[in-house]
Amino acid sequence: MNDSFIQIKQISKHFGNVKAVDDVSFQIKEGEFFSLLGPSGCGKTTLLRLLAGFEYPTSGNLLLDGIDITALPPDKRPTNMVFQNYAIFPHINVEKNVQFGLRKLGLTNEEIYKRVKDVLTLVKLEGYEERFSSQLSGGQRQRVALARALVRQPKVLLLDEPLGALDKKLRDEMQLELRTLQKEIGITFVFVTHDQQEAISMSDRVAVMSEGKIQQMSSPNELYKNPQNIFVSDFIGETNFLQASTKSKEGEFINVVIEELGEFKIQNNLNISENSSEVTCSIRPETMMIDTVKSDWDICLEGEIKQTSYLGEMTKFYVKTKEIEKIITVSSQYFDNQSFRDNKCFISINLNDISLLYKK
């Protein structure tokens, strides 16, 4: 597999004074499910449109499979796109939609027929050939869009928030299906989404974007476990931030003063320098333990439950302690209203679960 299948080299795209994409460089591997994740306006869609050829970069180069595609129009690129609103042609039926992109490939009628049939089977739309877009559900339209793009056998499939318009249950199903499909056909997927759960559950690698720049690019697990900065940590799931500054290093560990809690020796995964105040600590809600009694964990704080919200598989607690104004924690253990007398509780934290990261 080619590790630099797609090469994005110092790409910038400005719209007037707005730097939608700001000097971004990275590579996407062949056959990879790659996600661009970020809030709206972070530049992820612009980057995808640059790859598709709907926009041309202000500066920088794009290489696909070793070929410079920077200046190629969309119809000359070996990429195909699944649009956010699916963009199914309303005046022709499903079969003609899927055939649309085959006209210029120089295939015989039998080949066209076979390709269309195969791809419709692949996306489970057999029997829908004669339907028009207006006669399809959101999920079916999405499959047509997918079939229409895949039938051209592109080198890269670009997906622009394709699941955004579907309801939650269907979205979860489609996530699994897309992932399976991608493994099956082995085409490189570049997937744009603002939904961190979606990106994490489907991707081989995720690039988190903000303000036109890549904040962090890594595997979903790495992203969750070792976020580089506040933005990533906050965007990927919920977390508690605590003010901190570093002291001296000790091998893989570093001494940290957490403003609210005192001085601790914790793991230094990001290899942060000594005596820095440009850092913060993050503790994920699910790593903490909430209980009615004290524990022997590294840190145990007595607190008062301010609010709870029951989420079904778990309960979320908003806790105030003497040291910290607001801690968010979750527990899958069932507590009812009576469990905590006077809302009194104990929050336990292990030092292993405190991660140190950059503010910016």
Partner 1 sequence: MEQKNNPLLVYTLLYFAFLYIPVLFLPIFSFNDANYMSFPLSGFTTEHYEEMWSKRNLHNALWASIKVGVVASVVSTTIALFAAKAFARYKFRGQNISYGAIMMPFLIPEIILAVSILIIWLSLGFKLGLVPVTIGHILFCTPFAMLILIARIEGFDFSLEEASRDLGENAWGTFYRVSLPLYLPGIIASLLLSFIISFDEFVLAFFLTGSDATLPMYMWAQMRFIQKLPHVLALGAVIIVFTTFIVLLAFWLRNLGQGKEKTEFGINIHE
Instruction: Enter the tokens of residue 24.
Output: 């971004």
Verify binding: residue 101, partner 1, rule CB under 8 A: yes
Stretch that binds partner 1, among 36-44, 71-79, 325-333, 340-348 (CB under 8 A): 71-79
Strands (E), the chain: 6-15, 18-28, 33-37, 59-64, 67-68, 79-82, 156-160, 188-193, 205-210, 213-218, 240-250, 253-258, 262-267, 279-283, 289-291, 299-310, 315-321, 327-331, 344-349, 354-358
Verify binding: residue 115, partner 1, rule CB under 8 A: no
User: Binding partner 1 by CB under 8 A: which of 39, 41, 74, 139?
Assistant: 74
Verify binding: residue 46, partner 1, rule CB under 8 A: no
Verify binding: residue 318, partner 1, rule CB under 8 A: no
User: Binding partner 1 by CB under 8 A: which of 44, 141, 143, 152?
Assistant: 152
Residues with Cβ within 8 Å of residue 281, at least 6 apart in sequence? 241, 242, 243, 244, 256, 258, 266, 354, 355, 356, 357
CA–CA dist 168, 324 (Å, integer): 35
Verify binding: residue 112, partner 1, rule CB under 8 A: no
Pairing of strands 262-267, 213-218: unpaired
Verify binding: residue 73, partner 1, rule CB under 8 A: yes
Verify binding: residue 341, partner 1, rule CB under 8 A: no
**For residue 11, which of 27, 2, 3, 22 has the smallest C-alpha distance?**
22
Cα dihedral across residues 163, 164, 168, 172: positive or negative: positive
Please report how close the Cβ of residue 54 comes to partner 1 at its closest, in angstroms: 6
Nearer to partner 1, 49 or 284 (CB): 49
Angle subtended by helix axes 168-185 and 138-150, to nearest 10? 20
Count CA within 13 A, CB hemisphere, residue 134: 3
Stretch that binds partner 1, among 30-38, 39-47, 50-58, 336-344 (CB under 8 A): 50-58
Nearer to partner 1, 14 or 96 (CB): 96
Nearer to partner 1, 166 or 345 (CB): 166
CB atoms within 10 A of CB 252: 10
Instruction: Enter the tokens of residue 131.
Output: 């339907």
Pairing of strands 188-193, 156-160: parallel
Please report how close the Cβ of residue 133 comes to partner 1 at its closest, in angstroms: 7
Q: Give the distance, in angstroms, between the CA of residue 114 and the centroid of all CA atoms in the same chain.
A: 35
User: Binding partner 1 by CB under 8 A: which of 9, 26, 65, 132?
Assistant: 132
CB atoms within 10 A of CB 305: 19
CA–CA dist 27, 64 (Å, integer): 10
First to last CA, the chain: 34
Verify binding: residue 79, partner 1, rule CB under 8 A: yes
Verify binding: residue 134, partner 1, rule CB under 8 A: yes
User: Binding partner 1 by CB under 8 A: which of 28, 36, 81, 354?
Assistant: 81
Verify binding: residue 89, partner 1, rule CB under 8 A: yes
Verify binding: residue 83, partner 1, rule CB under 8 A: yes
Verify binding: residue 314, partner 1, rule CB under 8 A: no
Please report how close the Cβ of residue 56 comes to partner 1 at its closest, in angstroms: 13
Verify binding: residue 133, partner 1, rule CB under 8 A: yes
Verify binding: residue 90, partner 1, rule CB under 8 A: yes
Verify binding: residue 100, partner 1, rule CB under 8 A: yes
CA–CA dist 8, 25 (Å, integer): 5
Residues in contact with partner 1, total (CB under 8 A)?
30
Please report how close the Cβ of residue 145 comes to partner 1 at its closest, in angstroms: 8
Stretch that binds partner 1, among 49-57, 175-183, 270-278, 318-326 (CB under 8 A): 49-57
Q: Which residues bind partner 1 (CB under 8 A)?
A: 52-54, 73-75, 79-81, 83-85, 87, 89-92, 96, 100-101, 103-105, 132-135, 148-149, 152
